[in-house]
Amino acid sequence: SRVVKLAVIPGDGIGPEVIAEAEKVLDAATAASGVQFAKTRLSLGADRFLATGDVLTDEDLQTIAAQDAILLGAVGGVPNDPRLKNANIERGLLLGLRFALDHCVNLRPSKLFPSVPGPLASPGEVDFVVVREGTEGAYVGNGGVLRPGTPHEIANELSVNTAYGAERVVRYAFDLAQKRRHKLTLVHKTNVLVNAGGLWSRIVGEVAGEYPDVATDYMHIDAAMIHMVDSPSRFDVIVTDNLFGDILTDLAGAITGGIGLAASGNLNPAGEFPSMFEPVHGSAPDIAGRQKADPTAAIGSVALMLDHLGLTAESERVTQAIEADIAERTGAPRTTAEIGTAIASRISA
């Protein structure tokens, strides 16, 4: 029978709480399938840094790179904790993995279920996917500080955009649009960021020629924020750079039932390295350790992982269980474990 090697990185804060539920559901979904998940657990994150001083060692990276997939909860401590100032867990660990494992596509679907209370009065049908570039842009860490601490300090972050990097995610987004509602929206800020914007626009225009059945349009990031709130049903597939995609997907989560539902995959479509699946949210120190976190985003990330691994039926089972659970939510508070158990038992039933 098939064995899938899985790295499990619960991380910090609510990470371990939501990952425990994600594993429950993964076990339920694969129990009868003949696929075995051989798990390697790594305790990485702020807690590990505080205990050992390590963020991501070469050995960690080697272990992780040798797996078939990665399931991650969330990493990071309380924002601006002085003890973590030099650790930079987010850059060193999360971006460290995304970059080292060439996770060029950060896939972030958003779907609004009819029964889910959200902040929009009449949202209509909301079902779109953001294809966020994952290895470039302002995230590359290219920049520096001149005259630090002085009134003349200059702090630079250079946004790196390569034709290679943009083209591969644009192609991924077109392929995805072809399997969905045949619509692709490029979101950028071409009126101001003329260099990077010019590159992205040109590549979308060129690749569009190969996908005559996909309609493309363009929206500036600021206008996209308006339309995501006033007419989100207009979106099908959105392709955008790393930073715009980060911001846009928190709003996307907020309008579709909250960040507790938003799942994501960091994909290496070429399959050279394991892809990594994680909720969009962070470690939520404000609610950590109290069984208050919604594990649905982590469980949805399991569904994305199963689909990526070609375990389509198992993925579908998880998605259906999530949707059934969501449809019956009454608003009465449940613990993290209660939600996980409810979803898992729908699969086992």
Residue type (1 letter), 235: F
Touching ligand NAD, residues 170-209 (CB under 6 A) = none
Q: Which is nearer to ligand IPM, 99 or 218 (CB)?
A: 99
**Binder to ligand NAD among 25, 28, 29, 94 (CB under 6 A)?**
94
How far from the centroid of its chain's Cα atoms is residue 324's Cα?
A: 22
Question: What is the spatial distance between Cα 236 and Cα 127, in angstroms, rounded to a whole number?
Answer: 7
Q: Is 294 annotated as a binding residue?
A: yes
Q: Which is nearer to ligand IPM, 297 or 321 (CB)?
A: 297
How far from the centroid of its chain's Cα atoms is residue 176's Cα?
A: 16
Locate 219 and state its tokens: 């929206």
Contact string (CB under 5 A) for Mn ion, positions 215-254, x = contact: -------------------------------x--------
By the rule CB under 6 A, 4 interacts with ligand IPM: no
Q: Which is nearer to ligand NAD, 166 or 293 (CB)?
A: 293
Query: Are 63 and 43 spatial neighbours (Cβ–Cβ below 8 Å)?
Result: no
**Binder to ligand NAD among 76, 96, 245, 265 (CB under 6 A)?**
76
By the rule CB under 6 A, 246 interacts with ligand IPM: yes
Q: Is 332 annotated as a binding residue?
A: no
Q: Where would I find the beta strands (DSSP E) of the chain? A: 3-11, 36-41, 69-74, 105-111, 127-133, 137-146, 154-160, 183-188, 215-220, 237-240, 263-267, 275-279
Q: Is 58 annotated as a binding residue?
A: no
In whole angstroms, the minimum distance from the beta carbon of 208 to Mn ion comes to: 28
The backbone torsions φ and ψ at residue 66, rounded to the nearest 5 degrees and listed phi first, read: -85, 0
Task: Given the residues 81, 127, 175, 250, select the one marked as catalytic.
Answer: 250
3-state SS string for 106-164: EEEEEECCCCCCCCCCCCCCCEEEEEEECCCEEEEEEEEEECCCCCCCEEEEEEECCHH
**Binder to ligand NAD among 10, 134, 260, 265 (CB under 6 A)?**
260
By the rule CB under 6 A, 280 interacts with ligand IPM: yes
Question: What is the spatial distance between Cα 135 and Cα 281, in angstroms, rounded to a whole number?
Answer: 19
Active site residue 127: no
Q: Is 168 annotated as a binding residue?
A: no
Active site residue 12: no
Q: Is 293 annotated as a binding residue?
A: yes
Q: Which is nearer to Mn ion, 71 or 74 (CB)?
A: 74
Task: Given the residues 47, 246, 307, 325, select the one marked as catalytic.
Answer: 246
Task: Given the residues 189, 236, 307, 325, select the one marked as catalytic.
Answer: 189
Contacts of 40 (CB under 8 A, 6+ apart): 5, 6, 7, 8, 63, 67
User: Binding partner of residue 316 among Mn ion, ligand IPM, ligand NAD, none, CB under 5 to 8 Å per kind?
Assistant: none
Q: Which is nearer to ligand NAD, 123 or 285 (CB)?
A: 285
The CA angle 35-40-42, to the nearest 5 degrees, is: 145
By the rule CB under 6 A, 95 interacts with ligand IPM: yes
Q: Is 292 annotated as a binding residue?
A: yes
CB atoms within 10 A of CB 92: 17
Which residues sit in the known binding site for NAD(+)?
282-294
Residue ranges in contact with ligand NAD by CB under 6 A: 14, 18, 74-77, 79, 90, 94, 259-260, 278, 281-287, 293-294, 297
